[in-house]
């Protein structure tokens, strides 16, 4: 049987993982309905990898609770304490988002990171995040700072990365193949773990909606650790993004995420995410409708196409319909 492994994104400390999993599955069922698939993911067949409290504690320097795997059963915050490297990373990402957000020509120019140190660097970060708040629709400085701090901690702190990677590895343990759905920061985690694996279960589908892997500063940090690669155990990689989602910023095209010659192509999809801010994976709107990436047929459809044959016993015709 093919399992469904779900890996959430940024800033989910303090949330109930069972509630989050229920939201993801609810939105995915709506997306599968829209795709014409009769596959219905269930709690019994899915694993929700929750690391929100763990990451928050690790970034904050507190003792961290363990990463937990669920359903394996049948305004700008203050900057004190950020290292110079972290400040430069935040500034690089903020500048890239600001440029992509279409700030007007008369907007103040963001401060360059080169040669700026100490208090001046922190002031440059605050100033640039302020420009993001003023000129970039749908992205707040606070949200961007949280994302970049979390990504920086994951990419640059071996202990943080090892703890979180071990949590995902636990969900992938065993011989059964697994479809991995990883949103936002979760896509960075999933890619890192899967790219390093040469054995273990097959992953017929890696689905990464709203992925920030194409942001230059994040991609370069990944490349500094290891060359980019198409994970060996992954059969197919689908990446979906709303063009207004500036926390994802770039499609995972060869220009933004260059893979070695001869690698399989990432299936890049442009979608319309109705969720506020265009970045959420799963959210219930006031009218009761599901929104977010997982509620879209272009995103949920491939899941049904790869899992439905194993869990539902349907024929190839439905598999093709679900995967449109």
| Tens-digit pLDDT profile for residues 79-112 | 656 788 888 899 899 989 988 886 666 666 665 6
147 within a domain of the structure (yes/no) = no
Residue 98's contacts (CB-CB under 8 Å, 6 or more residues apart) are 110, 128, 131, 132, 135, 136
Most confident of 104-113, 213-222, 299-308: 213-222
Q: What is the pLDDT of residue 315?
A: 36
43 within a domain of the structure (yes/no) = yes
Q: Are residues 236 and 183 in the same domain?
A: yes
217 within a domain of the structure (yes/no) = yes
248 within a domain of the structure (yes/no) = yes
Q: Are residues 131 and 164 in the same domain?
A: no
Q: Distance of CA 150 to CAs 24, 60, 195, Å?
A: 21, 10, 20
Q: Are residues 239 and 286 in the same domain?
A: yes
Q: What is the pLDDT of residue 190?
A: 95
Residue 196's contacts (CB-CB under 8 Å, 6 or more residues apart) are 226
148 within a domain of the structure (yes/no) = no
- The range of the structural domain enclosing residue 47 comes to 3-73+157-322
Q: Are residues 236 and 268 in the same domain?
A: yes
Task: Decide if 203 contacts 175 (C-beta within 8 A).
Answer: no
pLDDT digits 0-9 by tens, 273-296: 999 989 999 999 999 999 999 999
Q: Are residues 96 and 186 in the same domain?
A: no
Q: Which of 2-11, 110-119, 149-158, 179-188 has the lowest mean pLDDT?
A: 110-119
Q: Are residues 117 and 167 in the same domain?
A: no
Q: Are residues 68 and 88 in the same domain?
A: no
Q: Are residues 96 and 218 in the same domain?
A: no
Give the chain's domain count. Answer: 2
Q: Decide if pLDDT at 300 tops 60.
A: yes
240 within a domain of the structure (yes/no) = yes
Q: What is the mean pLDDT of residues 248-274?
A: 96
152 within a domain of the structure (yes/no) = no
Burial of 3 (0-12, 13-18, 19+ CB in 10 A): buried
Higher pLDDT, 27 or 138: 27
Q: Output the pTM of the full model.
A: 0.85
How much of the chain exceeds pLDDT 90, in percent? 43
Q: How far is 308 from 304, CA to CA, in rounded Å?
A: 5
149 within a domain of the structure (yes/no) = no
Q: Are residues 269 and 315 in the same domain?
A: yes
CATH of the domain at 179: 3.40.50
Q: What is the mean pLDDT of residues 17-23?
A: 89
Q: What is the mean pLDDT of residues 236-245?
A: 96
Q: Are residues 240 and 318 in the same domain?
A: yes
Cα end-to-end span (Å), the chain? 22
């Amino acid at each position: 049987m093919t399992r469904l492994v779900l890996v959430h994104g940024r800033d989910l400390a303090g949330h109930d993982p069972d509630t989050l999993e229920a939201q993801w599955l609810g939105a995915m069922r709506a997306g599968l309905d829209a795709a014409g698939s009769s596959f219905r993911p269930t709690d019994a067949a899915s694993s929700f990898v929750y690391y929100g409290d763990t990451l928050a504690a690790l970034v904050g320097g507190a003792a961290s609770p363990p990463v937990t795997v669920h359903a394996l059963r049948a305004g700008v915050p203050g900057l004190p304490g950020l290292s110079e490297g972290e400040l430069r990373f935040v500034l690089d990402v903020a500048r890239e988002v600001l440029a992509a957000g279409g700030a007007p020509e008369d907007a103040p120019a963001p401060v360059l990171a080169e040669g700026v140190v100490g208090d001046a660097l922190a002031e440059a970060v605050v100033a640039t995040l302020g420009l993001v708040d003023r000129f970039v629709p749908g992205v707040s400085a606070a949200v961007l700072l949280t994302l970049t701090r979390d990504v920086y901690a994951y990419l640059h702190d071996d202990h943080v990365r090892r703890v979180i990677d071990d949590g995902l590895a636990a969900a992938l343990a065993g011989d059964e193949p697994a479809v991995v759905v990883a949103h936002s920061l979760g896509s960075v985690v999933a890619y890192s773990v899967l790219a390093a694996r040469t054995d273990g279960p097959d992953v017929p589908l890696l689905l990464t909606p709203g992925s920030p892997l194409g942001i230059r500063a994040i991609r370069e940090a990944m490349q500094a650790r290891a060359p980019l690669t198409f994970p060996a155990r992954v059969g197919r990689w689908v990446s979906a993004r709303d063009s207004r989602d500036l926390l994802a910023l770039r499609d995972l095209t060869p220009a933004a995420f260059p893979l070695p010659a001869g690698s399989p192509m990432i299936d890049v999809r442009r979608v319309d995410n109705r969720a506020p801010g265009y970045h959420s994976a799963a959210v219930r709107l006031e009218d009761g409708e599901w929104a977010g990436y997982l509620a879209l047929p272009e995103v949920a459809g491939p899941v049904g196409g790869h899992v439905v044959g194993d869990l539902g016993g349907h024929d190839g015709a439905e598999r093709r319909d679900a995967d449109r």
